[in-house]
DNA sequence: AACTATCATTTTGCATACAAAATGCAATAA
DNA sequence: TTATTGCATTTTGTATGCAAAATGATAGTT
């Protein structure tokens, strides 16, 4: 009895899990900046907890690469160097390519219809030069393809990497020309998916990521390094 | 001064890092079996430490997927289900494919010579039906290709996944026929590398991994599940 | 002035202590 | 017998305390 009702059990959220989540959002929102030392005591006071669960949370984030732990010298948000970006984007490209292949194998007609809808909504925001909404839909499309691949391990590996480059994503479409290119690439991506041409979709997604890497690198070059990003 | 000498600093090894490493080897050596509960106190006594660093180590291993942490119910080694294998092998295939592409771009002649040497040594052990030595060299080849790709992030993501499937690897070449096939595939892999044909090498490495998945699945099917593996 | 040396302070790493939750078992009821 | 309840024990989650290492400021030396 209670078969279907109570199987989704209610769990009191564990403190260190809470802390992992809250630290992640702090990092993503730029409230914790790269390379600045954050004493454990400060974070403890901020969250109103003791050091034990905080330290457990830091270990988890460190093993994700989001923060760096220097022995006896505290934790700091990992600074993403151009070299890191150059390593990470090809990996993400390979994983997105795989997601595309699997998605072509497994997508239902309604999956594709959903992605098509997202695509045309995105195209609209592109035409209206609405960066933020465009960006949201762009991410939604890639997430939906990833989800359609129905490989949770793939998703979680990808998300781990995505978190590390999150703060430079917005640099990708900073030039108008690159933005137009990206939109063009997305047209081809949609077509490959509609044709369920997995091989083609894989190639497109991979090169899409590599173009993005190029754009990010150019943008990084022009902000001359010292400033607050990365 | 001391520019080059002391930059590789001598660090007193931190306890929780030690513990992460030791737990990993315990798991790989099969001394900690999947799904059996291991109370923290037992592990503490085994290592002669307190619970704090142990718990920090467990958090790290959990975020790698090697162990599973159930809230208030302890830690246990993650059991690799056939479904997990089916998710993980394609990911590893995509990553190995990328390693092959990059290796072709970056390999020096001596890198290739080294891999060739490993290959022919492996062929010798194959001919002599020496499973263990064959297996060692097989791994060495794949590691060397990965290393030649010169992408440390790629290596570390790959290693993380590799750790999770480690205990089923040895099932891959359990049938003689599969073993011959694998050797045949390796001939083609070596040739593509010698030709520095990155695209071809990527395809070969990927399908090599997928064949391995097939072999592992068949082997898993025939051992009827209950026994100690996975 | 620049470079060391010294020492108080801060911060980290680990051990211990205590509270809440889960587990196991015996006693009871159906 | 089979379930179920209640309680003692074990185990986990978090807080605190203590020792070692790092940091920072001051004083002394060249």
Reported residue count of chain A is 230
pLDDT band at A173 (very low <50, low <70, confident <90, very high): confident
Detail the DSSP E strand segments found in A82-220: none
- B157-213 tens-digit pLDDT: 999 999 999 988 888 888 899 999 999 999 999 999 999 999 999 999 999 999 999
DSSP string computed for A130-148: -HHHHHHHHHHHHHHHHHH
- Residue B223: what pLDDT? 61
Which residues of B, range 56-85, sit inside 8 Å of A by Cβ? 56, 59-60, 62-64, 71, 84
Task: Work out the mean pLDDT of chain B and round it to a whole number.
Answer: 92
For the segment A121-155, what is each residue's pLDDT rounded down to a tens digit?
A: 999 999 999 999 999 999 999 999 999 999 999 99
User: If we measure between CA atoms, which residue out of B138, B141, B169 comes closest to residue B130?
Assistant: B138
pLDDT tens-digit map of B95-134: 999 999 999 999 999 999 999 999 999 999 999 999 999 9
Distances (CA, A) of A200 to A104, A105, A197, B93: 10, 13, 5, 18
- In this prediction, residues B7-35 reach a mean pLDDT of 88
**Rg, Å, chain B Cα set:** 20
Q: How far apart are CA B99 and CA B196, in angstroms?
A: 13
Asked if B30 contacts B227 with a C-beta cutoff of 8 angstroms, the reply is: no
B113: its two tokens: 């010579």
A9: confidence class by pLDDT, cuts 50, 70, 90:
low
Determine the pLDDT at residue A220.
77
Bridge partners of B68, per DSSP, are B76
Q: If we measure between CA atoms, which residue out of A75, A82, A70, A79 comes closest to residue A23?
A: A75
**Please, what CATH class does the domain formed by A15-77 belong to?**
mainly alpha
Q: How confident is the model at residue A1 (pLDDT cuts 50, 70, 90)?
A: very low
Chain mean position to CA B102? 19
The residues spanned by each domain of chain B are: 15-77, 82-222
Tell me whether residues A71 and B11 touch, CB distance under 8 A: yes
Share of chain B above pLDDT 90, in %: 84
ipTM confidence score: 0.91
pLDDT of res. A228: 40
Q: Which of the 8-27 residues on chain A come under 7 Å of nucleic strand C at their beta carbon?
A: 12
Please check the confidence at residue B11 and state whether its pLDDT lies above 50.
yes
Handedness of CA B218, B223, B227, B229 (dihedral sign): negative
Residue B171: predicted pLDDT: 84
Confidence at residue B86, expressed as pLDDT on a 0 to 100 scale: 97
Distance of alpha carbon A186 from alpha carbon A96, whole angstroms? 14
Reported in sequence order, the residue ranges of chain B that DSSP labels E, i.e. its strands, are 67-69, 75-77
Asked whether the CA dihedral B166, B172, B173, B175 is positive or negative, the reply is positive
The per-residue pLDDT for range A89-108, each reduced to its tens digit, is: 999 999 999 999 999 999 99
Closest-CA distance of chain B to residue A37, Å: 20
Where does the pLDDT of residue B6 fall: very low under 50, low under 70, confident under 90, or very high at 90 and above? very low
Q: Are A32 and A38 in contact (CB under 8 A)?
A: yes
Phi, psi of B151 (to 5 degrees): -135, 90
Centre a 10 Å sphere on the Cβ of residue A15 and count the other Cβ atoms it contains. Answer: 16
Task: State residue A221's pLDDT score.
Answer: 73
* Among B residues 6-45, those touching chain A with beta carbons less than 8 Å apart: 11-12, 14, 16
Maximal CA-CA distance, chain A: 64
Tell which CATH architecture fits domain B82-222.
Answer: Up-down Bundle (1.20)
* Mean pLDDT (chain A, rounded): 92
């Amino acid at each position: 009895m209670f078969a279907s009702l109570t199987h989704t059990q209610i769990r009191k959220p564990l403190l260190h899990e809470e802390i992992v989540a809250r630290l992640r959002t702090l990092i993503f929102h730029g409230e914790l900046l790269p390379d600045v030392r954050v004493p454990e005591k400060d974070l403890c006071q901020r969250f109103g907890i003791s050091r034990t669960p905080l330290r457990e949370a830091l270990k988890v984030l460190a093993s994700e690469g989001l923060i760096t732990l220097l022995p006896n010298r505290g934790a700091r948000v990992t600074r993403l160097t151009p070299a890191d970006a150059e390593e990470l984007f090809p990996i993400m490209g390979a994983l997105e390519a795989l997601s595309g292949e699997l998605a072509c194998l497994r997508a239902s007609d309604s999956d594709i219809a959903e992605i098509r809808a997202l695509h045309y909504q995105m195209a609209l925001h592109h035409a209206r030069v609405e960066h933020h909404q465009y960006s949201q839909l762009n991410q939604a499309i890639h997430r939906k393809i990833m989800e359609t691949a129905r490989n949770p391990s793939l998703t979680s590996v990808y998300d781990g990497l995505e978190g590390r480059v999150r703060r430079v994503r917005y640099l990708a479409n900073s030039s108008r020309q690159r933005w137009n290119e990206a939109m063009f690439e997305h047209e081809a991506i949609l077509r490959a998916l509609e044709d369920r041409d997995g091989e083609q979709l894989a190639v497109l997604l991979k090169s899409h990521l590599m173009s993005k890497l190029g754009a990010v690198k150019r943008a990084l070059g022009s902000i001359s390094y010292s400033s607050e990003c990365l």
